[in-house]
Amino acid sequence: MILSMTGYGKCVESYNNKSYVVEVKSLNSKTSDIRVKMPSILSDKEFSIRKLVQDEAIRGRLEVIINIEGENANGDFTFNAPLFKAYYAELSKLAGELGIENPDIFSAIMRVQAVTQSGVASVSEEEWNAVQKMIEKALKGLENFRKDEGAVLAQDLIQRIESIRTSIPKIEAFESARIERLKDRMKKNLDDFLGSDKVDQNRFEQEIIMYLERIDVTEEKIRLAQHCEYFINQLHSGDTQVGKILNFIAQEIGREVNTLGSKAQDSDMQQIVVSMKDELEKIKEQLANIL
């Protein structure tokens, strides 16, 4: 079973006249990148939230969004009117002296932390325990989403790997004809260059044998078939974190396919290799989305 890197989970619950909405989103990333958006009353719990998400979601570009609605959702709000008036008077005077028309003084002052403040710094331990359970439920939803997406990805990967594996026997159909064509071409070139009466046939046969050994693709076909089998075995292994292993196997498959292409020297075999490369590129694209 594999898991997709992308996913979404959500939990909506109430606690003490407050409505909590917890969302967890995940996108592709080679490393773990966690971003948390939450009300100020949960600020001191950010490290705990990050650890909880890291332990459960493992890897990906993860975004955690916590919204609270209801009575006293964000703590006691205070507004320092005297300080606001003092700022406004001084800034208005300065704007007049500098000749600044229609300055947006009001919104600028409202961004000053000392003018508007929230009083409550944190939630109670009981409420925090409830929030943790909400986050866990949202993460469970994320996991289920990833499983469903992973099942679709696994099926697609199996089909593409099988396409590469079933292409291996097709190469064999062209190998004998390829050898005869190469021998005929080399003999013709040698005859044209030296003349048939000056060619040592025994030496020619020896050179042909040595050359054919260098372009033999038997080992590449065997290794390629083994890599494809290992790839599928890993997909069925039950491990939910096989993305890096599958990437490594895909690189090994690519090496064997490239070697087949360089040794082919036959247009029919090259067409099969090109088809393999096309499937392999699509496999690599899919692997970028696997945990």
> Residue 209: pLDDT band by 50, 70, 90 thresholds?
low
Q: Tokens at residue 71, please? A: 């009575």
pLDDT at res. 288: 87
The secondary structure of residue 38, as a DSSP letter, is -
- Scan for tokens 């020297």, then name that residue: 265
Residue 153 has pLDDT above 90, yes or no: yes
**pTM for the predicted model, two decimal places:** 0.69
The residue type of 60 is: G
Give yes or no for residue 107 having a pLDDT over 90. Answer: no
Is the pLDDT reported for residue 93 higher than 90? no
* H-run or E-run covering 63: strand 60-70
Give the pLDDT mean for 2-30: 90
Taking only the tens place, the pLDDT of each residue in 10-21 is: 999 998 888 999
Which domains, and CATH codes, for the chain?
Answer: 7-75+124-147 (3.30.230), 77-117 (no CATH), 148-287 (no CATH)
CB 167 within 8 A of CB 275: yes
Stretch 194-211: mean pLDDT:
62
Q: How confident is the model at residue 101 (pLDDT cuts 50, 70, 90)?
A: confident
Task: Say what the pLDDT of residue 43 is.
Answer: 84
